[in-house]
C-alpha cells in the first residue's frame, strides 16, 4: 500500500484511552490510514491500539511527523526510531516534517536530507512535508526531488481554500492532504453547507469532507465518537453537484485556525 489513502483517521489532541478507543473504533469500521505525530504524545497508544486490533500491518497506512526539536541531522533518525518503537512497527508508511519552523535553527536542506536518509534506511516508505508554503516546498523539491515528496499536509477547509498553494502542488504532482477540514467544527454551522446537506440528506460534516475528496485531497478527520467516525466514512459515497461545489467555493474567507508563531512560514 504505497499511495496515500484518500480517507484517514486523525489523532490530533486525542490522548490515552480516548485515542486508543478512536483508533480501535476506526479500524473496526474500516479505516485503513492512521495519522499521528511525535508532538501529539500518543504514538505509544496508537501503536497499542493497532497491535490489539488484529488488523494486519500491511492493511494499515501509518503516518507520523517529526517535531521541530528533532529535525537536526543528529536527531531526526534516532527520533524516528523512537517513534517506531512506540508505534510497535518496523517502519511507517509516511513520515512528514511537521512544521518548517524557519526560526528554529535547522536549515531546510539539513532536515530534508536527514528525512531522505531515514527513507534510505528503511524506516519509512515515503516522506513528505506539512505546513510548507510554495517557496519552502520549492526548496524541499530542490533537496530531495518532487518525486520524493509524497504530500504536503496543509490546513484546508471551505473557509481556507489555499488555492494558490494547491495549484502549485498539483503542478508538481504532490498530493494534497487536508487537515482541519471542518475548521474546528465552525463550517458545520454554516448555512450554505447546511442547505447542501439537506438537499443530499447528508450531514454538514459529510458534505464538507465530500467537497475535499472531490477536489482530490486526502482527508484525516478525527472523532472520539464511533457514530461520527462511521458517519464521516460515508462522505466517500456522497457526490456533490457542480452547483454545490461552486457554492462552497464562495465560502473562502482566509479563515486560518492554526499558525503557531515561530513554526509557521509566511503563508501564500
Q: Which residues are catalytic?
A: 40
Strands 33-35 and 61-66: parallel
Q: DSSP for 30-55, please give it.
A: T--EEE--GGGT-HHHHHHHHHHH--
- The secondary structure of residue 224, as a DSSP letter, is S
Can you tell me the distance from the alpha carbon of 255 to that of 84, in angstroms, rounded to the nearest whole number?
35
List phi, psi (to 5°) of 187: -70, -20
Can you tell me the distance from the alpha carbon of 208 to that of 62, in angstroms, rounded to the nearest whole number?
24
Can you tell me the distance from the alpha carbon of 208 to that of 225, in angstroms, rounded to the nearest whole number?
18
SS (H, E, C) 235-266: HHHCCCCHHHHHHHHCCCCCCCCCCCCCCCCC
Reported in sequence order, the residue ranges of the chain that DSSP labels E, i.e. its strands, are 9-10, 33-35, 61-66, 92-97, 124-130, 151-155, 175-179, 218-219
Amino acid at each position: 500500500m504505497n499511495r496515500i489513502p484518500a480517507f484517514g483517521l486523525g489523532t490530533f489532541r486525542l490522548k490515552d484511552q480516548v485515542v486508543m478507543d478512536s483508533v480501535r473504533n476506526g479500524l473496526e469500521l474500516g479505516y485503513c490510514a492512521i495519522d499521528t505525530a511525535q508532538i501529539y504524545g500518543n504514538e505509544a497508544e496508537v501503536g497499542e491500539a493497532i497491535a490489539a486490533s488484529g488488523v494486519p500491518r500491511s492493511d494499515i497506512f501509518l503516518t507520523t511527523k517529526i517535531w521541530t526539536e528533532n529535525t537536526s541531522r543528529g536527531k531526526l533518525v534516532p527520533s524516528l526510531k523512537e517513534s517506531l518503537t512506540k508505534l510497535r512497527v518496523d517502519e511507517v508508511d509516511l513520515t512528514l516534517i511537521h512544521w518548517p519552523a524557519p526560526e528554529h535553527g535547522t536549515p531546510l536542506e539539513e532536515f530534508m536530507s536527514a528525512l531522505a536518509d531515514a527513507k534510505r534506511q528503511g524506516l519509512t516508505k515515503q516522506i513528505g512535508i506539512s505546513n510548507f508554503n510554495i517557496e519552502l516546498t520549492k526548496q524541499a523539491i530542490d533537496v530531495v526531488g518532487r518525486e520524493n515528496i509524497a504530500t504536503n499536509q496543509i490546513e484546508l477547509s471551505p473557509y481556507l481554500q489555499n488555492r494558490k498553494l494547491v495549484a502549485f502542488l498539483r503542478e508538481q504532482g504532490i498530493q494534497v492532504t487536508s487537515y482541519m477540514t471542518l475548521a474546528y467544527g465552525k463550517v458545520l454551522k454554516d448555512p450554505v453547507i447546511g442547505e447542501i446537506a439537506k438537499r443530499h440528506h447528508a450531514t454538514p460534516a459529510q458534505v464538507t469532507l465530500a467537497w475535499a475528496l472531490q477536489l482530490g485531497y486526502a482527508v484525516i478527520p478525527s472523532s472520539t465518537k464511533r457514530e461520527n467516525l462511521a458517519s464521516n466514512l460515508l462522505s466517500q459515497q456522497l457526490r456533490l453537484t457542480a452547483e454545490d461545489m461552486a457554492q462552497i467555493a464562495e465560502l473562502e474567507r482566509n479563515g486560518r485556525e492554526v499558525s503557531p508563531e515561530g513554526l509557521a512560514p509566511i503563508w501564500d
